[in-house]
Amino acid sequence: MATAATQTESTDGTLEQRAKAIAQRARDLIESHTLATDPGFPEQLAERLERVCEQLRARLLDDRSLANAPIEAATLCDALVELTDLQQDLRETVIAQRFDVLSRIHGGLTRLRGVGSVAELLQETPEELCHCCDFDRAVLSRVNGSSWQPEAICIAAGQDAAVTEATEEFLTGAEIPLSPMLLETELARRAAPALVSDPQTSQRTFSPLMEASATTAYVAAPVLQGRRVIGFLHADAFGSGRELTTLDRDNLWTFAEGFGLIFERMVLVERLDAQRSRVRDAFRHAEANLDQLCDAEVKLARQEREATSVTQSAAGMLAPTQSRINLLLTAREREVLNLMISGARNSTIADELVIAEGTVKSHVKNICRKLRASNRAEAVSKYLQIVMRAKL
């Protein structure tokens, strides 16, 4: 597209006429903010202003004929003063517009900082980039091992429908290798942005993508997490056709640096939230287990108190009898006698008490003697009679 930046300075007309023409162009630029659509024009116009100013100075200093032409000399002086003022105004306009872009980038990053999740951040970033830096198309990609994959795409409305469809179709699910000669490989290695002004013929670009997107120039910048490159941002001005400059490259780099910090922070916040949820669930689970354990202990304590009460009652009822038996029989003999009451044979008693069967026979003999019984059945009977008398 032909722009004001491609126009050549005319050599026709007098110096005064050329000064007026160049002054008018400068005034038009300052009033129309052409920088947004033709970033190269202000620089070229500033060079022309400087050339005409030098010619005016040289004419005023060297042309002695002006001594006899005061009106012409005054006209040249007025033109020089006007051009000098326009140079200053042009510089201020360019600086103001550059600061305006930086301000928009800051505002865009602030909006991205307020999104609710990493997934939403990734989807919103390309559109915010186009809005902040006057791009028509933008792609956010992530580095996955030895390749890079498009993650989110923004294509402004009003673009060529066929090219838009081809671009979206190619980028959806694409996995582009980071081959040694590829520009993105160098971006990942150097962690620096780049401006590509000849993508269709350059051997450093990925030709299938260039063919699908039909881009004539683009800028690219790596996305860093710490010192590690985790993705890329690509952008161009395909729809407007404006010339991309190093200023576009630097603006993209500024945006990419800010986005990388926001992404890193949001990933950490989501991880902390996930860990907080896991810890909270673990505490809830532990609390539920403690409640169950406490309930079980309370129930067990109640049962133990009830059992103790029953045992104490029984002990109080049988205490006199138990005392007489304790005085009469040894502890081992009482154990043998309790097993005899259950009907256990000598061999069973021996196994239960882990003693020899002969030892059991000796204990049975002593029990019978102490209870004045002639056999084991009578010994058991006398013991039970003693117990029953105690209950009565």
How large is the average pLDDT for residues 14-41?
66
Name the E strands within the chain. 137-144, 147-155, 176-177, 194-196, 218-225, 228-236
Structural domain 7-108, CATH architecture = Up-down Bundle (1.20)
State the Cα–Cα distance between residues 232 and 238, nearest whole angstrom: 19
> Residue 217: what pLDDT?
94
pLDDT at 382 over 60: yes
CATH 1.10.10.10 positions along the chain are 329-391
Among 40-44, 108-112, 361-365, the minimum mean pLDDT is found in 40-44
CATH 1.20.58 positions along the chain are 7-108
Count of Cβ atoms closer than 10 Å to residue 278 Cβ: 10
> Residue 305: what pLDDT?
64
Provide the 8-state DSSP code for 245.
Answer: -
Please report which confidence band the pLDDT of residue 52 belongs to, taking 50, 70 and 90 as the band edges: confident
> Residue 96: what pLDDT?
66
State the Cα–Cα distance between residues 137 and 157, nearest whole angstrom: 10
Q: Token pair for residue 32?
A: 């129309």
Give percent of the chain above pLDDT 70. 83
pLDDT at 8 over 50: no
CATH superfamily of this structure's domain 116-271: GAF domain (3.30.450.40)
DSSP per residue over 15-83, as a string?
HHHHHHHHHHHHHHHHHHTGGGT-THHHHHHHHHHHHHHHHHHHHHHH-GGGGG-HHHHHHHHHHHHHH
> Residue 287: what pLDDT?
78
CATH 3.30.450.40 positions along the chain are 116-271
Q: Could you tell me which CATH number the domain at 329-391 has? A: 1.10.10.10
pLDDT digits (tens, 9 = 90+) for 286-340: 877 777 777 766 666 666 666 555 445 544 444 455 666 777 788 888 888 888 8
